[in-house]
Amino acid sequence: MEAMEDDSAELKDDHNHNYCGGGAKVRAELSGQAPDGMSAAQPVCAPLPAKRQGQPWSGSPCGSKFMDSDTGSESSEVSETDCAAANAEEKPSLDSTPKFLLNAMAVEDYRKNHWPNLEEAIDRLLIQNLSDHISVSYAQIYGYVYKCVCQQHSELLYGDLTSKITAHLLQVATQLQASPPENLIENFNVALTQYLASLQCIVPVFIYLNKFYIESKLNRDLKEDLMKLFADHVAEKHLSKLMPLLIKAHSMPFQVQPSTMASVVKGLYSLRPEWAQLAPALFSSFIPQIHPPAVESRLPDYADHDRKLQMELSMNGFPRGDQSRKRASEDS
């Protein structure tokens, strides 16, 4: 009976397909004692292979913990069944294709099947009008993004996403460049409002990319990155023309719709708060706490500013009216 047990222990599989001979030798090595005729320092089993990047040591391709595909760090728990299904084609085997070839095939699959569908959806979201009702399957986009992250395409996806949106913003900047000065404020407001509406759709469906790559590896946030793209490629290029127009419109009430003025000024402040220092009087009319807190010693200055403002309004056709008149209901 002991002979049969020794024979059955001659071949052991350590679950990583590393076959080790000599069960008695293994047990002796683990116990710190070498069998007769064998040095204790002699290896009895080939070393385990290095851990595959982006995968835990558990038996499944993704395990019970979701691993960041680019950092290899444990990020959050997700469904083992879902992630295993997404990576079914990447399950290693003894006769598998070399790793570099598998990676090339995976990238080709991303380029042919995943990114084209995402690119089309992003195009439709970026060019939508507020009154349009575009049929876009957000669940389908979310699924593509989730699978790309599981298949270690986070860096590719982030690069394609930002490149796509940058190209769109360059077109927007070119269109605004051709806008006449009297329409620049209104056209800029339309471009900014449309872009912000698009981000409300794009950012949520890319939540997995944001959580498991942008936040964990780049230490940034997707929405902040996309807002910065608009500031760099659109707002900053037109700021030198836009700011004087805003200051002039602010000095002439109702030359531009108040809602448009408020939208543009608040939008510029959300893009880069330091731009408020270029025109504090303008920004303080729409955003609180631009100026330092009021102090008692400057009360006469504040009163003088109010008198000047009332005079400007009166000169521009906005009289205060006759305050001595009775209300209509009291005439009878």
Question: For the whole prediction, is pTM greater than 0.85?
Answer: no
The whole-number pLDDT of residue 20 equals 42
Asked if residue 294 is part of any domain, the answer here is yes
Least confident of 87-101, 157-171, 211-225, 304-318: 87-101
Highest mean pLDDT: which of 4-8, 27-31, 73-77?
4-8
Q: Are residues 224 and 299 in the same domain?
A: yes
What amino acid is encoded at 41 in this protein? Answer: A
Residue 63 is assigned to a structural domain of this protein: no
**Containing structural domain, residue 3:** 1-49
Domain identity same for 31 and 102: no
The CATH number of whichever domain residue 205 belongs to comes to 1.20.1310.10
Q: Are residues 121 and 42 in the same domain?
A: no
- pLDDT higher for 289 or 83? 289
Examine the domain organization and report whether 298 and 163 are in the same domain: yes
What whole-number percentage of the chain has pLDDT above 70? 61
What is the domain count for the chain? 2
Q: Do 154 and 265 share a domain, yes or no?
A: yes
Residue 174 belongs to a domain: yes
Higher pLDDT, 311 or 261: 261
89 falls within a domain: no
Please give the share of the chain, as a percent, with pLDDT higher than 90. Answer: 44
Supply the pLDDT for residue 253: 78
Q: Looking at the structure, tell me whether residues 300 and 195 fall in a common domain.
A: yes
Q: Higher model confidence: residue 216 or residue 254?
A: 216
Q: What is the pLDDT of residue 208?
A: 94
Residues 139 and 35 reside in one and the same domain: no
